[in-house]
Amino acid sequence: MLEEGKKRIWAEYQKAVPDNNYYFVRSCIRQTFFPGSEQAFIRIIRNELGKDIYETPYHTTCTGIGYHSDIIPFETTMTVVARQFALMTEAGYSNYIPSCITSFGLYTEVLETWHHFPEIEAHIRENLWKATKREFKIPDNLSHPSDIFYHFRKNIAEKAKYSLVDIESGQPLNVVEHIGCHYSKMFPGKGIGGAEYPCVLIGMIEAWGGNAIDYPERRHCCGFGFRQYIVQSNRGYSVSCSRKKFESMKPYQPDLILTNCPGCPMFLDRWQYVISEIEGKTYGKNNQGIPVFTYEELAGLILGYDPWELGLQLHQIDCEPLLKKMGIKYNPSEKYLGYNREYIGKPEITKNLFHCC
Amino acid sequence: MTQYFKTLQEDIRFREGLSACINCGTCTAICAAAEFYQYDPRQIVDIVQSRNELEIEELLKSDTIWYCGECMSCKTRCPRGNTPGLVIMALRTLSQDSGLFIESEKGRQQLAIKRTIGEWILKTGYCVSPELINPEMHPEQGPVWKWEIDNIRTLMKKMGANYQGDGPGALRKIPEEALSELKSIFDITGATQRFEKIENDSSKKAEEMGLKLTDGLDNPYMQYIYKHNSQNHHNNQ
């Protein structure tokens, strides 16, 4: 194919990402399991990249998990989304940045619905006015925080203290990624690279020195499945999906898994623990699991942030072997200290998974 | 006979999700649920587009429509641009509106979701926050999560969160005014009504099954629907 043709096709998989002035909206799951990631995102945007980012305490859940477990009607969800947009409008922003893939998919679905059915948008505006006396403007841009990091991946690399390289061998680390269903599959044109060429995480991996691996089940769901995880008796579905991914990636001996969603890193981390308990099976070397990172954690790590402030000790899979492989300077004795540097004890040791200390 | 197909057509997701399926089965091939459960989205779409009211009613009473994980992988791959996942969402809405959800093991679980995620939204403004993921209900979360919950305040502070505090930040206390607006939205857009419907229909079913249902999570009906698995749903049987 001619170079021109390639460029034309690739252009269809790009999206506009704003350079500055971000209205940030938190994720229920990310702040619950990875609060250090949201903190790192804001710190990197403000301190490393020198950009403006704003959040208001008055925003709420988008109701996405409730909507996708079918207890919340679409009309309710659309009106809650309208309220979120009203808060953005009142704050004087127009670049909406939700820290969650479920939210990203949901906002896209709502915006597409309103675009194609203006009468529904008009009805939701009436609902919002009736319920809250608020009005809103449609955002100029909807981007996920990973889109922003992809956009600035080279700027982040320029400031990095470490790279995704094995310091002993000098070889790039093998990195697998998990793109997130509601980022890439619902409206492929709204995510960088879509579902066919998902490159938002690959772009970061390569810019930060790693070797990205295209494993067969790269696009398979992590298994959240909403009701399939929320209800205890359905969780076999969830762990089975993750297991399929681990089996698929294992032959490539990945050093780490990089994720896009808030929920996926938690599932891919916890289900490795569950599989090790049920089957005695682990997917890394020497009974180690494969460490799972959010893109904010990975960016924070290469920028030299303290792993314990990023929250890496909250992962079930021990990250320390990887920190050592990358030559990251950190203090192992601070892993189990609280905010005031008080010792808070250690988690119980698991049966089959490797523990560094 | 209730006009199920006509009601489905009133749901925008149904109209957007289905136009003349050619029954190729691509959705089933890509479906994460079809690999795990006795589940075939191609067949569901075929039944629905046949407009056979009796067969649609059987679907609404069945476990089948509750097997989907709403990952929407089907959306990307359908050669006709259909989305069986959206059809499922419309069927689940109708199953609840018609009260037929209580006729299946998986459908009855809607009460557990309403009493966890649903009530949490109105109480805290979040779908999920750490207190909802208690280690007893979530043993799969493992020992590190238990350690985190035992030390939640100091660890959250260390990560820079504003745990249950005023002002912005991760896990902040969402102001009462915001919660009150959320409740008002729920009241006028149908969520409150759906919650009441799930409660009332579940209450009747609990009585029929001879299981006590009281408020909260610690009662025999709730525990049953949350934990019971008849083990006849899976593909490897």
State how far the Cα of A337 lies from the Cα of A346, in Å rounded to an integer: 9
Option in A65, A75, A132 nearest B127 (CB): A65
Contact (Cβ atoms closer than 8 angstroms) between residue B53 and residue B7: no
Interfacial A residues in 31-50 facing B (CB < 8 Å): 31-32, 35-36, 38-39
Q: What residues of chain A lie within 8 A of the CB of B35, using their CB?
A: 240, 244
Indicate the helix (H) or strand (E) that contains A97.
strand A95-98
Q: Given this model, what pLDDT does residue B237 score?
A: 59
State how far the Cα of A254 lies from the Cα of A283, in Å rounded to an integer: 9
Tokens for B139, please give them: 């043993």
Global confidence as pTM: 0.97
Closest of A172, A185, A180, A110 to residue A145, by C-alpha? A180
Option in A35, A68, A270 nearest B142 (CB): A270
Q: Given this model, what pLDDT does residue A225 score?
A: 97
Q: Where are the domains of chain B?
A: 4-106, 110-207+216-227
Q: Which of A46, A60, A343 to mutate to test the interface with B (most CBs of B within 10 A)?
A: A60
State how far the Cα of A353 lies from the Cα of A234, in Å rounded to an integer: 25
State how far the Cα of A319 lies from the Cα of A34, in Å rounded to an integer: 15
Q: Given this model, what pLDDT does residue A6 score?
A: 80
Q: Chain A to chain B, count of Cβ pairs less than 8 Å apart?
A: 265
Scanning every residue of chain B, which has its alpha carbon at the shortest distance from the alpha carbon of A82?
B185
Tokens for A17, please give them: 């990402």
Interfacial A residues in 177-216 facing B (CB < 8 Å): 181-182, 184-186, 188, 195
Pick the CATH number of A160-334 from 3.40.50.11810, 3.40.50.2000, 1.20.1420.20, 2.40.50.220: 3.40.50.11810
Q: What residues of chain B lie within 8 A of the CB of A35, using their CB?
A: 156, 159-161, 170-171
Per-residue pLDDT at A194 exceeds 90: no
Interfacial A residues in 282-311 facing B (CB < 8 Å): 308-311
Scanning every residue of chain A, which has its alpha carbon at the shortest distance from the alpha carbon of B155?
A338
Please, where in chain A does CATH 3.40.50.11810 lie? Answer: 160-334
User: A352 CB near a chain B CB, below 8 Å?
Assistant: no
CB pair distance less than 8 Å for A237 and B69: yes
- In DSSP notation, B113-178 reads HIIIIIHHHHHHS-S--GGGS-TTT-GGGHHHHHHHHHTHHHHHHHTT--TT-SSSSTTPPPPHHH
Q: Which residues of chain B have pLDDT under 50?
A: none
Closest of A258, A284, A266 to residue A352, by C-alpha? A284
Q: Given this model, what pLDDT does residue A134 score?
A: 98
User: A227 CB near a chain B CB, below 8 Å?
Assistant: yes
Q: Which of A69, A70, A101 to mutate to test the interface with B (most CBs of B within 10 A)?
A: A70
Option in A225, A236, A344 nearest B71 (CB): A225
Q: What residues of chain A lie within 8 A of the CB of B167, using their CB?
A: 57
Please, where in chain A does CATH 1.20.1050.140 lie? Answer: 22-145
Backbone φ and ψ for B144, nearest 5 degrees, come out as -70, -40
Indicate the helix (H) or strand (E) that contains B32.
helix B32-36
Option in A39, A71, A342 nearest B160 (CB): A39
Please report, as a single letter, which amino acid is at residue A327.
G
Closest approach of B53 to chain A, Cα-based (Å): 22
Which positions ≥6 away from B50 have C-beta within 8 Å?
none
Contact (Cβ atoms closer than 8 angstroms) between residue B34 and residue B40: yes
State how far the Cα of A107 lies from the Cα of A112, in Å rounded to an integer: 8
Q: Given this model, what pLDDT does residue B1 score?
A: 60
Closest approach of A42 to chain B, Cα-based (Å): 10
* Helix-helix angle B176-189:A74-91, to 10 degrees: 140
Q: Given this model, what pLDDT does residue A2 score?
A: 76
- So what's the ipTM on this one? 0.98
What count of other Cβ atoms lies within 10 Å of the Cβ of residue B211? 15
Per-residue pLDDT at A1 exceeds 70: no
Q: Given this model, what pLDDT does residue A14 score?
A: 82
Write the pLDDT tens digit of every residue in A293-319.
999 999 999 999 999 999 999 999 999
Scanning every residue of chain B, which has its alpha carbon at the shortest distance from the alpha carbon of A231?
B226
Binned at pLDDT 50, 70 and 90, residue A356 comes out as confident
Tell me the mean pLDDT in the region A138-150: 98
Scanning every residue of chain B, which has its alpha carbon at the shortest distance from the alpha carbon of A224?
B69
Strand A22-25 relative to strand A95-98: parallel, antiparallel, unpaired? Answer: parallel
State how far the Cα of A13 lies from the Cα of B130, in Å rounded to an integer: 37
Indicate the helix (H) or strand (E) that contains B91.
helix B84-97
State how far the Cα of A261 lies from the Cα of A47, in Å rounded to an integer: 24
Closest of B121, B115, B112 to residue A62, by C-alpha? B121
Tell me the mean pLDDT in the region A199-224: 96
Tell me the mean pLDDT in the region A98-106: 97
Write the pLDDT tens digit of every residue in A14-69.
889 999 999 999 999 999 999 999 999 999 999 999 999 999 999 999 999 999 99
Indicate the helix (H) or strand (E) that contains A25.
strand A22-25
Residue A62, SS3 per DSSP: coil
Indicate the helix (H) or strand (E) that contains A95.
strand A95-98
Q: Report percent pLDDT > 70 for chain A.
A: 99
Q: Counting beta carbons within 10 angstroms of the beta carbon of residue A247, is it exposed (0 to 12), middle (13 to 18) or buried (19 or more)?
A: middle
Strand A141-142 relative to strand A95-98: parallel, antiparallel, unpaired? Answer: parallel
Contact (Cβ atoms closer than 8 angstroms) between residue A132 and residue A85: no
User: A243 CB near a chain B CB, below 8 Å?
Assistant: no
Q: Counting beta carbons within 10 angstroms of the beta carbon of residue B229, is it exposed (0 to 12), middle (13 to 18) or buried (19 or more)?
A: middle
Kindly give the residue spans of alpha helices, DSSP state H, lying in chain A: 3-11, 28-33, 35-43, 64-68, 74-91, 101-116, 118-132, 145-151, 153-159, 181-184, 200-207, 227-230, 235-249, 263-279, 295-302, 307-310, 320-325
Residue A84, SS3 per DSSP: helix
Pick the CATH number of A22-145 from 1.10.3720.10, 1.20.1050.140, 3.10.105.10, 1.10.1660.10: 1.20.1050.140
Q: What residues of chain B lie within 8 A of the CB of A32, using their CB?
A: 126, 128-130, 133, 171
Indicate the helix (H) or strand (E) that contains A23.
strand A22-25
Option in A113, A224, A350 nearest B142 (CB): A350
* Helix-helix angle A35-43:A295-302, to 10 degrees: 50
CB pair distance less than 8 Å for A308 and B158: yes
Per-residue pLDDT at A209 exceeds 80: yes
Write the pLDDT tens digit of every residue in A320-348.
999 999 999 999 999 999 999 999 999 99
